[in-house]
Structure 1
Amino acid sequence: MKISIQNLQLKYGDFVAIENLNLDIGDGEALVLLGQSGCGKTSTMRCLAGLEEPSAGRIIIDDVVVFDSERGINLPPNKRNVGMVFQSYAVWPHMTVFQNVAYSLNLQKLSKNEVKERVTEVLTMVGLEKFADRGASLLSGGQMQRVALARSLVMRPSVLMLDEPLSNLDARLRDRLRVELREIQLRLGLTCVYVTHDQHEAFALADRIALLQGGKIVQIGGPREMYETPASASIAHFLGVSNVMDCEAVAGGDGSSSATVAGHDFTVHSSQRIPSGTRQMKVCMRAEDLQISAQPKTAANAWKGKVMVAGFQGNDVRYAVELDSGLELDALGTIKRGEQHDVGDSVWVTIEPGQVQILPAEVLA
């Protein structure tokens, strides 16, 4: 089902939580609303679900106007055919798994056969068919989250909305459920709106990502596009770029550029063109793009330094390298490539010019 959000605004007194937000979500698309706490992503979802009344704007779900401030339309949540999965499981502990999932169907006065058929179908889908008769209080966190998902799916919603449903789970379970959620969404062809502050979760689940800052969408695109071409240094930093530094940028005649980091005798060269306009610029380098070697290097971007920290992370080692200029860089070495160095080692750090980005500090309004 398609969703169209037009000029959406939400205010709490003088505070603007959402400011003139426009967004179209395609049929069967998984869109992730990504951003820091307080950026407006959950407020946007609550407006879609009918749990929050916007101050202005228009919302259309499957060609049905569910909210229009000018025409005075505001359909209640039960008339919007959307399923919600919250961060808190909200599972009734005194009921069995089957009873939890069947509850809303029983309220609709469906026949016992239809209830049993639909509940069994979704429990199988989420891998809980063997736990139907188990008391909900005896479930693990991951199982409770599956019950919450099944309770939404059993209603056969047009749109499934998920508000940081995996944030209470441990890392390994979270990784596994991400894959399962994506499989279910693709198998059912569900239009899905997912709220998270975790960029890895967004990359794993999204067809498109809408990144919000201050109640506005500052960039929207596919996961790979967002990862490779962030629109600003603040977006790059939020998406995991650890080396973000103030700089003075100079454009070259061939479309390349260079940047001198503020307060340091350190210049880095980039093969990317500097965005037009006079703005505060920052140079951005991903830790995984920096190469560390014990052997001297001669390249456009090659600097000598010393390993200050070496944090073992399994196949990877996270390094803090202090360069001779006094600047400290965060780098990620892969043990399988022989990139293993000890604290105190003298090393050379290099990066290809094509992997250096010189970006405006913020997206212009």
Structure 2
Amino acid sequence: MIIGLPKEIKNNENRVALTPGGVAEFIKNGHTVYVQATAGEGSGFSDEEYALAGATILPTIEEVYGIAEMIVKVKEPIDQEYNLIKEGQLLFTYFHFASYEPLTHAMIQRKATCLAYETVELKDRSLPLLVPMSEVAGRMAPQEGAKYLEKPLKGRGILLGGVPGVKPANVLVLGGGIVGTQAAKISAGFGANVTIMDISLKRLRELDDIMPANVTTVMSNHYNIKEAIKTADLIIGAVLIPGAKAPHLITREMLKDMRPGTVLVDVAVDQGGCIETCKPTTHENPTFIIDDVVHYCVANMPGAVPYTSTLALTNATLPYALLLANKGWKQACQERDELRLGLNVVDGKVVYPGVAEAFGLPLTDVAEVLA
């Protein structure tokens, strides 16, 4: 199979979907890899390293899309990439379709085969290709929140961990999954008073067993959230419904209950956000303020630490990418249920329920496109 590795062009996205080591694995399996010049530069990988691994370097993104049968990326295609995508071309990347309708319609129109990292799901309901970036984003959230709590950045002027004789900050984490667990762990490590909420009592019991003494578990419901935000200094949104839009747990009306300078970090923003007032921002302009509340809503947080993120992501994605290349996407999806669940849009048809529901589009049975 001919594999294409384009350079990510989303604002301040420095990750890359394949390392030189990953390219070498494709070459070893008899495939051809074309890499756009400087694609790996942001993550610390030179064109020379890719060439030594066996890739052919192409100067433009147009050439990469034009020759590849499978495009391997990190983030969803953006507007200027839509017309480069060929009918039947396989795109293996994060899509988060349910949060952005124009992307969905563009991929339907291009009749691409869209296999989304974020909906590849194992039998135990875990999401193996989302986990590594969730771990990075979860660990980054308190780090970014701590920074924006500083007064020059319009925060409350509170040190997350406090000092002897002065209380630490109060951190509220909404969601006890991978992101929430990592966020609570790092916040607790800073020395903050942490409250983590989830709708699963089973999960809260598990968290209660593994978290340090400065983390309190609380059942997530509207009343408890409304009470907790009144004293929270940093609120981290970490809610995920695989392949679907995140629910709004904090509404605009609720901002009035927060103290001026409270910081919101919505890690779920690439799935529509669990805080109503959060809209995607970039690393270039990461925050905005509504009702004196600081909103940090960067949709590709791990892009700020590309070396760590690229290695963590490719550790997870490479085995699946090789499977798709070795067997072809249809056979691979027939043999592996988790890959079948990764299919979102195929040949102009929506085959993932969460995407169809988000925009009221007709749903095609995935078995039909695999026949």
TM tier relative to shorter chain: under 0.3
Report 1 or 2 for greater relative contact order, CA contacts < 8 Å, sequence distance ≥ 6. Answer: 2
Flag the structure with higher strand content.
1
User: TM-score, normalising length from structure 1?
Assistant: 0.28
User: TM-score, normalising length from structure 2?
Assistant: 0.28
Structure label with greater radius of gyration: 1
Flag the structure with higher helix content.
2
